Amino acid sequence: MAQANPGPCYDGYGLALPAGPVVLSVPHGGRDYSPALVAALRVPPSALMALEDRLIDRVAMAARGDEPMLMQRTPRAWIDLNRDEGERDPLVDAGARIGGRSSAKLRSGLGLVPRRTAGHGDIWARRFTDAEIVARIETEHRPYHQALAACLAAVRARFGVAVLLDLHSMPPLGRATVSPRVVIGDRHGTTAEPRFVRRIEAAVRGLGVAVTRNAPYAGGHIVERHGDPRRGIHAIQLELDRSLYLDAALESPGEGFDATVALVRGAIAALGAEALGQDLPLAAE
């Protein structure tokens, strides 16, 4: 599958001539661990796997039809595209402004540049300079968001509406028999019209998968920044339980990989149909 628009830190597919109203974003699947990143660690590189939305990029690639898609190559550990530029942690960032923008995620060590990871604690051997963080913002964070905004604008111009599906994965929330396995985030109804969320919910429930809204994940910076329903741009975050598509160790593709790809494909199709005012064909009895 040819890349239409590779960027400095992301791969872009189908951006030049959007074929439909749905745009895909995959910001946390990057695994290009550079020598500079590895040299700055105080933990083994394998410890950073906990920060990845493990192999969600493979799910997205398999589920994508001809929809425009941006996929980050740089690992989340280096810079988190789902955080605001201002969420800079003074414990790892010498340029962070004391008393600046804060959030629960930042205070827990998961800011613009994550400070820690579960099971390993702090991950960096030193603080980064202001110039180092600014360089990441200017060469990686901003280009991704600029490309995403341009793509959404092009889609809206062509179809009169654009729908962003920001794809993530999450650790299991509990026993699969009683806990949600898919979480839809629309920032509590502010980043997308309710009809789009209802359409995804119906598609997921139709597959017998438990789904909920906005808890514990209501959507992050990407949907908050790019969703603007009043202007015809709707943004939804979709979190998938990693046990749906990974093996028991949550490291490699598991038996449920193909079924999860079908789930995501169904969600994409449902959003596209809703945007265009179409009904999806009923499944055969």
Contact 29, 52 (CB under 8 A): yes
Residues of the chain with pLDDT under 50: 1-4, 282-285
pLDDT of residue 201: 97
Closest CA to 164 of 214, 240, 222: 222
> How many angstroms separate the CA atoms of 172 and 1, rounded?
31
Query: For residues 229 and 183, what is the distance between their CA atoms, to the nearest angstrom?
Result: 20
* 155: nearest Cα among 235, 262, 260: 235
pLDDT at 177: 73
For domain 10-276, the CATH class is: alpha beta
What is the pTM (predicted TM-score) of this model? Answer: 0.94
d(CA 196, CA 236): 8
Query: Checking DSSP bridges between strand 69-72 and strand 22-26, what pairing results, if any?
Result: parallel
Query: What are the domain boundaries of the chain?
Result: 10-276
Q: Tokens standing for 11?
A: 């791969």
